[in-house]
Each structure stands twice: as structure tokens, then as C-alpha cells.
Amino acid sequence: MRDLCTYSVGLLIDPERTIFYPFSTHGFEYGQGSINAIRQRSLGNVFFADDACLYRFTDISYAEEGLFRKVLRATNYGGGHICVKRERHDVALDDLKVLIHDCLKNYIATAEPDETWLLIADGFEKSANSIRNAPDFRALFNLLRLPAVEDCLDAL
């Protein structure tokens, strides 16, 4: 069993599809589906981390290449332990605000009525206004009020 205290939460952003999800860093270790499917849906995504920096996914590979893992993948088990390479991605604060704003609009449009993520529960106008007024990357990250590790997406 994994110790959730060793993981943090950030915001996984798909800039092409203009969507985001609260994401546990455990997901950098585990993927669902084939490596090609994981790469197709994840390469180019960015992660707004708890250090208030943005990172772009540059490569995803299997972390283990032993015989047992190869047999599992060959039998269509898929998924497994992965390694995600990330590089710091410099972006202007205003550009990140616009991206998060647009993702927020899309997220709220599809959110369940009982959504518990506080940023979403506040409603679009209040949250969008907070995003626009964030003075720096740290403040922007903090106002996201991301859910606890156990309430986040945790696999790519």
C-alpha cells in the first residue's frame, strides 16, 4: 500500500483540449493502458506543481522492463509503473491565467452537481475573478485550493 503523505497535488493541464484535473504526483509512477496510449494523451501536457512552477511532459516510458512486466503487457494487461520526464516550462503569468480560466469554464460545464473541489464549488464568476487578480504564480496556485491527494486523479 502506498503512503499518500509522500505525494503532492498539482494541476494537470491539457492545453490542446483546454481541460485540467487535480492530479496526485503518484500518477507520475503509474499509467493506465498501453504506453502508446499514455503518451498520446499525456505528452505535451503541463503540470502546475506545488512549487508554483509549470512543467511540460517530455517523455513517458515504462519504469520496469523485466520479463514479468513484458508478459503482462503482451497479454493486454497494459498499464503499470511508468517514468514521466518533465522539464520546466516557462510561461508568462497572464498566459497561464488565461489557460486556467478557459480550462475552468470547460471543467465547470461538465462538473457533477455534488462537486467538492472548492474552486469549482465557488462558481465560475468568483473563481474566474480570483484567477484574474492573482499577483504571482504562488498566489495563483494557492487560490486553486486543490483537493487532498486521495481525491485526485492518480494515474496517467
- The answer to the question of residue 55 being in a domain is yes
- pLDDT over threshold 90, residue 4: no
- The answer to the question of residue 124 being in a domain is yes
pLDDT band at 75 (very low <50, low <70, confident <90, very high): low
Tell me the per-residue pLDDT of 35-64, one tens digit each, with 9 for 90 and over.
888 889 889 999 999 999 999 999 888 876
> What does the pLDDT read at residue 68?
64
- The answer to the question of residue 134 being in a domain is yes
- Domain housing 36: 8-147
- The answer to the question of residue 91 being in a domain is yes
CA atoms within 13 A on the CB side of 105: 9
Residue 88 CA to residue 100 CA, distance in Å, equals 18
Q: What is the mean pLDDT of residues 127-143?
A: 95
What is the count of structural domains for the chain? 1
Burial bucket for residue 24 (CB in 10 Å: 0-12, 13-18, 19+): buried
> What does the pLDDT read at residue 150?
84
Question: Which amino acid is located at 154 in the chain?
Answer: D
- The answer to the question of residue 3 being in a domain is no
Residue 45 CA to residue 56 CA, distance in Å, equals 6
Residue listed under C-alpha cell 484567477: 131
> What does the pLDDT read at residue 83?
83
- The answer to the question of residue 87 being in a domain is yes
- The answer to the question of residue 2 being in a domain is no
> What does the pLDDT read at residue 69?
60
> What does the pLDDT read at residue 149?
85
For the beta carbon of residue 65, count every other beta carbon within 10 angstroms: 9
> What does the pLDDT read at residue 28?
81
Q: What is the pTM of this model?
A: 0.84
- The answer to the question of residue 36 being in a domain is yes
High-pLDDT (> 90) share of the chain, %: 44
Q: What is the mean pLDDT of residues 132-145?
A: 95
